[in-house]
């Protein structure tokens, strides 16, 4: 291999790796400008070593070694913070930088440039799309749910029927999560209160009203109502 060709391939790997790393550096990532440039140069150098061998499969074999070796470097930038994991995108970028370096080393400048452009496009353009998706998921995940209490006043003789009906209707509505269901005698002694505490979102008020309206039709029921107890942030 002519030294001029060797130099051009190294400079190309350096340039494309630096472009990829610059985007990471601007976002204050651990593996930035120099790391990505070095990965691309190193991958290119390893592949070009095969040019000095007589084995025609040398480039392919060395490229596979590069892919394996870059995994250890990528693992070094992945960190776990509590339940979240950081650095996955940076590790993937390093892996891609190695691929660009391999293409440079094999003497495919156009393909290497296209690959570098694809990497930059993924990190820059898809970033806003990713944030948009995460924002929508977060809005849905942080919907304020509330604890509601269904209160039914009935005669002691009708307690079993009222409890059975309430439990049947609550189980038939998957958006209502039953927390508790219990009965308590009222001071008058002739009536008792059946209370059910459920978790639901404000959008399910109609279902709560349907339960109260249906149970109020039962014989022996003198009062039926529902009320908000508290809010639950999930």
Q: What domains sit in the chain, N to C, each tagged with a CATH number?
A: 3-140 (no CATH), 144-233 (3.30.70.260)
> Residue 233 has what pLDDT?
40
pLDDT at 78 exceeding the cut of 70: no
- Per the DSSP assignment, residues forming a β-bridge with 181 are 196
Predicted TM-score of the model (pTM): 0.43
pLDDT tens profile 24-67: 777 666 656 777 777 777 777 677 766 665 566 666 666 676 66
The per-residue pLDDT for range 139-184, each reduced to its tens digit, is 554 456 788 999 999 999 999 999 999 988 888 887 888 888 889 9
The more confidently predicted of residues 115 and 158 is 158
Percentage of the chain beyond pLDDT 70 is 68
Does pLDDT of 81 surpass 60?
no
With bands split at pLDDT 50, 70 and 90, how would you rate the model's confidence at 72? low
Q: What is the pLDDT of residue 232?
A: 44
């Amino acid at each position: 291999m002519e030294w001029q060709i060797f130099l051009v391939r190294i400079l190309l790997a350096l340039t494309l790796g630096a472009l990829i790393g610059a985007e990471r550096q601007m976002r204050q990532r651990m593996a930035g400008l120099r790391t990505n440039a070095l990965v691309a140069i190193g991958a290119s150098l390893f592949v070009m070593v095969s040019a000095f061998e007589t084995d025609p499969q040398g480039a392919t074999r060395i490229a596979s070694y590069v892919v394996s070796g870059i995994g250890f470097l990528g693992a070094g930038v992945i960190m776990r913070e509590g339940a979240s994991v950081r650095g996955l995108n940076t590790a993937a970028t390093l892996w891609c930088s190695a691929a660009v370096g391999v293409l440079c080393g094999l003497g495919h400048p156009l393909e290497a440039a296209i690959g570098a452009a694809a990497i930059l496009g993924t990190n820059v353009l898809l970033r806003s799309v990713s944030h948009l998706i995460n924002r929508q998921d977060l809005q849905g995940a942080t919907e304020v749910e509330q604890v509601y209490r269904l209160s039914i006043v009935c005669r002691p003789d009708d307690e079993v029927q009222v409890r059975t009906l309430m439990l049947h209707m609550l189980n038939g509505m998957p958006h209502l999560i039953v927390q508790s269901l219990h009965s308590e005698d009222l001071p008058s002694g002739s009536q008792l209160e059946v209370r059910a505490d459920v978790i639901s979102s404000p959008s399910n008020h109609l279902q709560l009203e349907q339960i109260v309206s249906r149970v109020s039709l039962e014989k022996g029921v003198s009062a039926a109502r529902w009320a908000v107890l508290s809010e639950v942030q999930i």
